[in-house]
């Protein structure tokens, strides 16, 4: 894994269950030094060595950027996912040595904003934990609207309310509370920037309404936190390295390429940053594109694929790797 970012050797300093679904993990540097400073919205890629398999999953840093003695991430257990979150929940214990990447920020605050309006859904709250801490320290103007399924699954809702009081608005699905989005978006002062992180449906909804209500696209920031989806196994030929590999049900195409000893560049591992974009030399079958990087036209062309999140079903696939 020579590509991507510089690595940090860390030790798990604490594992804290937050609620039925979410557990928080704390990391410190093994050499006792401070960790690199980061900016609110940054993520790290956590390397999970699970027997024969290595998974690399991105998680937002949720601690205050002002405190670099430790990094903290929160992981929501996904019982039908590919097993990364289950590995974190079941196998990662305090004292365990792990490797994480340097922080990378693909969901940065626009520091020109007169006001930061944040919308979070579910575990999409994590980048806002760091961003609100950063803004609060500088006296920044922010307001966070947070939707969760139930009060008991409102991860960090209590912490946020205690820290920021009325700047935090909570909405619970089980009480049928909904963000009044149109009203919210039409009553903001000039110079407001909008940030949204949550399920894909929420992001699309917010972006659509913001566009309809005349928000300039450069004031609307969003982060998808979609993990690669499992799927049917498929075979791939890597033309440049002369290898034929099988992608397992629970493995991403990128992970299978890496397992074969080929290291494409990557940053986000979530179909957003564009680093691992790969040319398709030939194919006979159907692409399952899950990325947010390629255009619809590129998806239809069958000439490119983002191996971090996208899959393939069919007879043959030859990639330029």
Partner 1 sequence: MGITFRKETFRDDFTFKNSPEHIKRFPFPFHEDAYMYAVNIEPHVVGPKGSVLENLIDVDEHYVAEMQDRALVLAEDPLRCQSLPHMTLAGWDLLELLMEQQALGYPEHFTLTRDGDRWRWINRPLGIDDTFTFGDTSTLPYGPMEYITRQSQGDFCILDQRDGNLWMDAGMVTTQADWSLDFDIGMNFFEWHAPVPLAHEKGIFVRALKFLTNIQQGKPARRLNWTMTINPRLDTSPENYHKWGPDRATVTPENVGDKVHLRVELQSFWRLPRSNGIVFPIRCYLIKMDELVTQPKWARRLHRVIRDLPDELANYKGLTRYRLALVEWLAKLDDGSATSPGFGPD
CB of 128 to partner 1, least distance (A): 16
Nearer to partner 1, 102 or 164 (CB): 102
Q: Which position among 102, 161, 173, 209 is part of the footprint of partner 1 (CB under 8 A)?
A: 102
What are φ and ψ of residue 129, in 5° steps? -60, -45
Work out the angle at residue 172's Cα, subtended by the Cα atoms of residues 215 and 191, and round it to the nearest 5 degrees. 20
| Pair 321, 241: CB distance under 8 Å | yes
Q: Which position among 105, 141, 188, 316 is part of the footprint of partner 1 (CB under 8 A)?
A: 105
> CA torsion, points 29, 197, 141, 215, in degrees to nearest 10?
140
Which residue, among 19, 49, 266, has the nearest Cα to 149 in the 3D structure? 19
Q: Per CB under 8 A, which region of 109-117, 145-153, 172-180, 304-312 contacts partner 1?
A: 109-117
- Residue 218 binding partner 1, by CB under 8 A: yes
Nearer to partner 1, 44 or 253 (CB): 44
Maximum alpha-carbon separation in the chain: 59
CB of 40 to partner 1, least distance (A): 9
- Residue 164 binding partner 1, by CB under 8 A: no
Q: Give the Å distances, CA to CA, from 295 to 43, 264, 310.
A: 24, 21, 14
Nearer to partner 1, 63 or 121 (CB): 63
Query: Between helices 157-164 and 126-137, what is the axis angle to 10°?
Result: 10
- Residue 277 binding partner 1, by CB under 8 A: no
Site for partner 1 in 57-86 (CB under 8 A): 65
Q: Which residues bind partner 1 (CB under 8 A)?
A: 4-6, 36-39, 41-42, 65, 102-105, 108-112, 134, 138, 218, 267, 273, 275
């Amino acid at each position: 894994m020579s590509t991507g970012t510089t690595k940090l050797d860390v030790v798990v300093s604490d594992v804290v269950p937050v609620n039925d679904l979410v557990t928080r993990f704390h990391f410190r540097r093994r050499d006792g030094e401070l960790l690199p400073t980061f900016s609110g919205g940054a993520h790290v890629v956590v390397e999970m060595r699970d027997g024969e398999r290595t998974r690399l999953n991105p998680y937002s840093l949720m601690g205050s950027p002002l405190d670099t003695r430790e990094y903290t991430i929160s992981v929501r257990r996904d019982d039908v996912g590919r097993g990364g979150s289950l590995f974190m929940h079941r196998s990662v214990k305090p004292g365990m040595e792990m490797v994480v990447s340097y922080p990378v920020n693909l969901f940065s605050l626009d520091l020109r904003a007169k006001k930061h309006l944040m919308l979070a859904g579910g575990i999409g709250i994590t980048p806002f934990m760091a961003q609100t801490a950063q803004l609060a320290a500088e006296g920044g103007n922010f307001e966070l609207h947070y939707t969760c399924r139930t009060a008991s699954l409102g991860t960090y809702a209590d912490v946020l309310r205690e820290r920021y009081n009325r700047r935090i608005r909570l909405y619970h699905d089980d009480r049928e509370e909904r963000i009044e989005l149109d009203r919210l978006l039409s009553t903001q002062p000039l110079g407001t920037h909008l940030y949204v992180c949550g399920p894909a449906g929420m992001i699309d909804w917010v972006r659509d309404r913001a566009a309809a209500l005349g928000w300039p696209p450069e004031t609307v920031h969003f982060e998808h936190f979609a993990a690669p989806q499992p799927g049917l196994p498929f075979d791939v030929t890597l033309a440049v390295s002369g290898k034929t590999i099988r992608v397992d049900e629970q493995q991403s195409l990128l992970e299978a390429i890496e397992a074969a000893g080929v290291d494409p560049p990557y940053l986000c591992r979530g179909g957003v940053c564009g680093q691992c974009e790969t040319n398709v030399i030939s194919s006979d079958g159907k692409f399952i594109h899950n990325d947010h990087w390629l255009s619809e036209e590129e998806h239809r062309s069958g000439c490119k694929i983002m191996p971090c999140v996208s899959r393939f079903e069919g007879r043959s696939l030859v990639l330029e790797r």
